[in-house]
Amino acid sequence: MKISILTLFPEMFTGPLTESIIKRAREKKLVEIEFCNIRDFGIGKHKAVDDKPFGGGTGMVMRVDVLDKAIKNVRQNGLNKFQEKCVLLDARGKVFMQSVSKSFSKLEHLILVCGHYEGVDERVRSLVDDVVSIGDFIITGGEIPAMIIVDSVVRLIPGVLKENATSYESFSLAGFDEKKNLEYPQYTLPRDYNSLSVPNVLLSGNHKEIENWKKEQSILITKKHRPDLLENIKD
């Protein structure tokens, strides 16, 4: 898989995308990540990428002509919409969820367009395939959302993690009826710590009881912390 990130600040990605699991995935050639500096496609000797909004307003707006050239530069010829997707990171977009991450991980090429300043010219939306937000809040630009999306997507690429490593975690509990539940509690050594002990069922060796306990705890935790996830679950 290839991921292209269009950004005005490629240096921001040093660290988050060059360490840990993503670093190993890149070294194993399971994912290729490239950074396209939008400034390279700027206008005039000063490489302008934004301008004042028509009609007035605060801040500066990123130009459609600049972003059009940047997007065309990274698109790959011959790939259809099921193989390549260009995504604008914007507060107006659909909320990024695990299901979206899974669909992105199946692409051959994912393009992430990081907006900045006051946002992008409205016509940029006609150049992309999708618009995604990481939540109902505003941050300075699309760089941090891009890091989050890349991290979420890369770990779902086959071979990046151990087999089934992503099957028994929050929002994707394989074998559970409640696919969107939060994960059940996890414990390790020491068995007793400051009067808190590991539940006896996890030490019983009874796999059926352990599995039932995990399902029950998953539902209880979801009801307590994210009851909205259970709204569409049938009894």
- The structural domains of the chain, with segments of one domain joined by +, span 2-154, 168-230
- Over the chain (235 residues), what is each successive 10-residue block's mean pLDDT? 97 93 96 98 96 91 97 95 96 93 96 93 97 93 97 95 68 55 91 95 96 92 88 55
pLDDT computed for residue 129 by the predictor: 97
pLDDT computed for residue 183 by the predictor: 85
DSSP string over the chain: -EEEEEES-GGGGTTTTSSHHHHHHHHTTS-EEEEEEGGGG-BTTTTB-EEPPTT--SS-EE-HHHHHHHHHHH--TT--TTTEEEEEEEEEEEEP-HHHHHHHHT-SEEEEEE--TT-B-GGGGGT-SEEEESSSS--S-SHHHHHHHHHHHHTTSTTSS-TTTTTEETTEETT-S-TTPPPPP---S-SEETTEE--GGGGS--HHHHHHHHHHHHHHHHHHH-GGGGTT---
- At the fourth CATH level, the homologous superfamily of domain 168-230 is tRNA(m1g37)methyltransferase, domain 2 (1.10.1270.20)
Whether the domain at 2-154 and the domain at 168-230 fall into the same CATH topology = no
pLDDT computed for residue 228 by the predictor: 84
pLDDT computed for residue 230 by the predictor: 80
CATH code: domain 2-154 is 3.40.1280.10
